[in-house]
Amino acid sequence: MINSPMNDQQALFVRMTLDAWTERVNATGALLDKLSDDELVQAVAPGRNRGIYLMGHLIVVHDMMLPLLRFQEAMHPELKLAFLEEADNAASTMPSVQQLRKQWKSVHGTLQGHMQQLPVSEWFTRHASISAEDFAKEPHRNRLNLVLNRTGHLSYHRGQLALLPNR
C-alpha cells in the first residue's frame, strides 16, 4: 500500500482510537481482577446495579461488537436476556462470576485479535447497523466510530465499578 499522507492520517486516527479502547479495556480488566467474587455481587451504590450485572452487561455489549464490526457472530448471545434486555434483578438467571471472568477474557481477546488485523482503510467503512445508502450520507457512522462510542460506554460503567467494594 502506498504510504500517502491520507493513509498516514488514517493510521494515526485508528491508533488514537484503538489505543484508548485497549487502555480502558485493560484498566477495567485489572479492576475486575482485583475485586473478589463476593465484592462483585455487591451493588455499586444502595439500590443500584450489582458489579456482576455491570460486568455481564459490558461482556454482552462488547460481544455484540463482533457482528456490528462485521468480524464474526457473537460468542455469547445467551447472555443478552439477563444483562441487556432485563434490568438487574435477583430473579435473573446469571452465570457465576467465575464463568463471567472467563467470558470477559475470551470476548476481549477475540475482539482484540480482529481489531489488530483489520486494515486501516477498512475502519472507515460502515458498521453492520447502518445501510449502505445511509452510510453514503453519514460517513462518520463507520466502524471506528462504533469503537469510539463503545469506549465511552465502557468508561461510564468503569466509573461505577470503581466504587466497589461498597464499604
Q: Helix, strand, coil shares of the chain as percentages rounded to 5?
A: 65, 0, 30
Identified binder of a copy of itself from the candidate list 22, 24, 29, 122, rule CB under 8 A? 24
Strand partners, 126: 142
Determine the Cα–Cα distance for residues 108 and 125; give it in Å rounded to an integer: 22
Residues 39-68 that bind a copy of itself (CB under 8 A): 44-48
Q: Per CB under 8 A, does 153 bind a copy of itself?
A: yes
- Residue 93 dihedral angles phi and psi, to the nearest 5°: -85, 115
Least separation in angstroms between CB 70 and a copy of itself: 18
Closest by CA position to 66, among listed 107, 119, 126, 17: 107
Residues near a copy of itself, by CB under 8 A: 4-6, 9-10, 12-13, 15-17, 19-20, 24, 44-48, 124, 139-140, 144-145, 148-149, 151-153, 155-160, 162-163, 166-167
